Amino acid sequence: MGLVVLGAILAIAAVLVAAFVGLSAELYRRLFVPARPSFLDDFGFTPWEFQVNYEDVDLVTADGVSFGAWFFRQSGSPQVIVISPGHKGRRESLLGIAVALWRKGFNVLVYSYRGMPGSDRAVVTMGVHEVQELESAIAFARRRVRGARIGLLGYSMGAVVSLLGAAGDPSVEALVLDSPFSDLRKVVRENIRRYTLLPGAPFVMAVGLWLRLRHGVRISESSPISVLSGLESRPVFFIHGGADGITSVHHSRLLHDAYKGPREIWVVQGAPHTGAYFADRQLYLERVAGFFARNLGLKAAGQLRLVEDDDEEVS
């Protein structure tokens, strides 16, 4: 009888261990493994469809990763907005806002991360290594635009990349951060609890150890809240959807409240993750363009609807 009970306990333990390993592996895949190349990668939209003045450029990071970017040039304007996409993001997803900001008078640079179509295949690091793409993009902008005044716009993981990059580059003058997380470990724990009802800490520990052993990357470095003071005293505009089911709005509020420099926050009620733009494209454009015009010195600022209230605004 005792052996039967012991066998049952061992069997249950084996099932639990297998389930834990399986869920950890799936979490690792979703977070860090780039999507497989597809024949559809060659059938996406490009700036050509918008009939705008642009240049297709290939850039290289400090660690030797090649990646693709599009540069929208405005002759005579020193203002440059570098836009960073979200998790496993690519430049195609940014065409709408990029072209709209270009038509407002800004130079705009958008790019794809490592591991994405048009770039070298590499592990996704949730902002830790992707900062090097941003650094190369900023360096390119400074080479091409005399006296460039740099602003950063980032979405989700791209907002984290922008924040981490600006913390190490005091020449960046203004940031718009749409749907950032305050700390990777925190947001992953929250999502595991939300969708599986399981405690997230063991899974975060497992995938973090796996990533560190395989690629030497510490997920603790993807923590905007820990480098926030490096932005002061540059203006930061936080944007977040009130119905964000991936990165709760409290992450933006936490960052906003912790930041001691000039800041604004705009919570769009009912909008999902990175959904503020789609909730009202015109209003989103005017607010983002107005923020950059005001803080980067765009001469056409008087033609834009500017919002200057530092208090939280909800719409």
Give the model's confidence band at 97: pLDDT under 50 very low, under 70 low, under 90 confident, else very high. very high
As beta bridge partners, residue 150 has 80
- pLDDT tens, position by position, 21-51: 888 999 999 999 988 877 777 778 889 888 8
- The answer to whether residue 199 is domain-embedded is no
- pLDDT tens, position by position, 111-156: 999 988 888 889 999 999 999 999 999 999 999 999 999 999 999 9
For residue 11, pLDDT beyond 90: no
- pLDDT tens, position by position, 150-198: 999 999 999 999 999 999 999 999 999 999 999 999 999 999 999 988 8
CA–CA separation, 81 and 72 (whole Å): 10
CA–CA separation, 137 and 81 (whole Å): 10
Tokens representing residue 190 in the block: 């929250």
Q: What is the largest CA-CA distance in the chain?
A: 86
- The answer to whether residue 129 is domain-embedded is yes
DSSP 8-class letter at 82: E
The CATH number covering residue 178 comes to 3.40.50.1820
Element (H, E) at 276: helix 276-279
Percent of the chain topping pLDDT 90: 75
pLDDT score for 221: 95
- Output the CA angle 312-313-315, nearest 5 degrees: 150
For residue 309, pLDDT beyond 60: no
pLDDT score for 308: 44
CA–CA separation, 85 and 106 (whole Å): 18
Average pLDDT value for residue range 65-87: 95
- The answer to whether residue 305 is domain-embedded is yes
Percent of the chain topping pLDDT 70: 94
- Output the CA angle 216-29-58, nearest 5 degrees: 70
Give the model's confidence band at 312: pLDDT under 50 very low, under 70 low, under 90 confident, else very high. low
pLDDT score for 51: 86
- pLDDT tens, position by position, 263-306: 999 999 999 999 999 999 999 999 999 999 999 998 754 444 44
Average pLDDT value for residue range 304-312: 47
pLDDT score for 74: 93
Residue with tokens 């780039």: 34
For every residue of 131-190, DSSP letters joined together read HHHHHHHHHHHHHHSTT-EEEEEEETHHHHHHHHHHHT-TT--EEEEES--S-HHHHHHH
pLDDT score for 216: 93
pLDDT score for 307: 44
Short-list 56, 58, 74, 98, CA closest to 149: 74
Total of domains in the chain? 1
pLDDT score for 301: 44
Please report the beta strands in the chain, taking only residues with DSSP state E, as ranges in sequence order. 54-60, 66-72, 79-84, 107-111, 149-155, 174-178, 236-241, 263-268, 312-314
pLDDT score for 300: 58
- The answer to whether residue 14 is domain-embedded is no
- The answer to whether residue 13 is domain-embedded is no
CA–CA separation, 207 and 204 (whole Å): 5
How many residues make up the chain in this entry?
315
For residue 311, pLDDT beyond 60: no
Structural domain span for residue 227: 51-183+222-314
CA within 13 Å, CB half, 148: 23
For residue 109, pLDDT beyond 50: yes
Give the model's confidence band at 315: pLDDT under 50 very low, under 70 low, under 90 confident, else very high. low
Give the model's confidence band at 101: pLDDT under 50 very low, under 70 low, under 90 confident, else very high. very high
